[in-house]
Amino acid sequence: MTETLEILKAYNGTGYYGMLFIASLLYLYFTEEDTHTKKILVIVPTVIQILFLIPYFYMIYNKLDEGTYYRLLWLLPTTLVIAYTACKIIDTHTRLGVIVMAVILALSGTIVYAGSNVSIAENEYNLPDEVIELADMVKPDEGRERVWAAFPPLLVHYVRQYTTDIMLPFGRDSLVDHWNAPMNPLFDLYMEPTMDAAKLSEYATKYYCNYVIVEKSKKVIGDIEANNFEYVGETANYTVYQNMLVPFWDDTDEVVNFYSFTDELYGTGNTSEE
């Protein structure tokens, strides 16, 4: 019961809209005359919430799909029910209803654009400029086969949104523990507070990376350029190096060998592109 209450609390945030939703359900239960509407907007949401709070239902659900119980709350038509209730109140008491609804919504809401996760778009892709700069440095020239590049874990979410010409030795699956991504020593090396240049060369070559991108703030043991890397360029926070031990793939025969190599490394059909 404690777990479900915590999930419900997190879903409701400040709690204002949760209270408005319950109040709306009660109002519609006593005032809605259309049976079909009442079933959809009142009965079904009420049943979902009751089931959600039953501990045995929580236990059964978790055995079938652990970690996604909160998604049941996505079935609740919270916004629709509140809006429909407000419209009914305004239809009955026009002037007073408009004033009351406006005051309630103003007091219970927050300014979306003031949120910590909201920022002004830096470009037409709605991606960090620095990611685009890095991708442009390493993406293949026209006519050349796709390249492999190791990006710092915090950037892998963005790369594939910008271009499909860059293959990644590890993707966002490595960042989510319960997805159980295959062990990847190159990813583990990027996650360490210090980076060994010799290991970076070894793992980047093992995963056939043409390029590696290293954070400038990362403490590096050894000289990267002395370990078969060549400086390509840099941005404000990252430096790009080319792995001189890994060739680019241009003609058909080499491309076939390249994909045979990746199948052997990851297992057929399991290359990480995200």
DSSP 224-269: STTTTEEEEEE-SSEEEEEETTS----SHHHHHHHHHHHHHHH-TT
Return the pLDDT at 262. Answer: 47
Tokens of 165: 């010409």
Neighbours of 58 (CB within 10 A): 18
Q: Distance between CA 131 and CA 238 in Å, rounded? A: 10
Please determine, for residue 273, whether its predicted confidence score (pLDDT) is greater than 50.
no
Q: Distance between CA 245 and CA 202 in Å, rounded? A: 10
139-192 pLDDT, tens digit each: 887 767 789 999 999 899 899 889 888 999 988 777 776 566 678 899 999 999
Return the pLDDT at 178. Answer: 58
Return the pLDDT at 271. Answer: 44
Q: Angle at CA 24, nearest 5°, toward 42 and 71?
A: 60
Q: Band of the pLDDT at 269, cuts 50, 70, 90?
A: very low
23-58 pLDDT, tens digit each: 999 999 999 999 999 999 999 999 999 999 988 888
Q: Distance between CA 213 and CA 229 in Å, rounded? A: 11
Task: Report CA torsion sign: 120, 125, 128, 130.
Answer: negative
Q: Which residue has the higher pLDDT, 108 or 4?
A: 4
Give SS3 for 6: helix
Average pLDDT (232-256) is 80
Return the pLDDT at 116. Answer: 73
Average pLDDT (114-133) is 82
% of the chain with per-residue pLDDT over 70? 88
Q: Are 268 and 256 in contact (CB under 8 A)?
A: no
Neighbours of 222 (CB within 10 A): 14
201-237 pLDDT, tens digit each: 999 999 999 999 999 999 999 999 999 999 999 999 9
Mean per-residue pLDDT of the chain: 84
Tokens of 249: 């793939």
Please determine, for residue 241, whether its predicted confidence score (pLDDT) is greater than 70.
yes
Return the pLDDT at 211. Answer: 95
Task: Identify the residue whose tokens are 């680019």.
Answer: 248
Return the pLDDT at 1. Answer: 67
Return the pLDDT at 143. Answer: 67
% of the chain with per-residue pLDDT over 90? 47
| Residue 252 Cα distances to 96, 145, 263, angstroms | 74, 9, 17
61-119 pLDDT, tens digit each: 888 888 788 899 999 999 899 999 999 989 888 888 888 888 887 777 677 777 777 77
Which burial class, exposed, middle or buried, applies to 140 when counting CB atoms under 10 A from its CB (0-12, 13-18, 19+)? middle
Please determine, for residue 266, whether its predicted confidence score (pLDDT) is greater than 60.
no
Q: Distance between CA 2 and CA 5 in Å, rounded? A: 5
Give SS3 for 165: coil
Q: Which residue has the higher pLDDT, 178 or 14?
A: 14
Q: Are 48 and 84 in contact (CB under 8 A)?
A: no
pTM for the model stands at: 0.57
Q: Are 102 and 123 in contact (CB under 8 A)?
A: no
Could you state, in order of their start, the residue ranges of all structural domains in the chain?
A: 2-114, 129-266
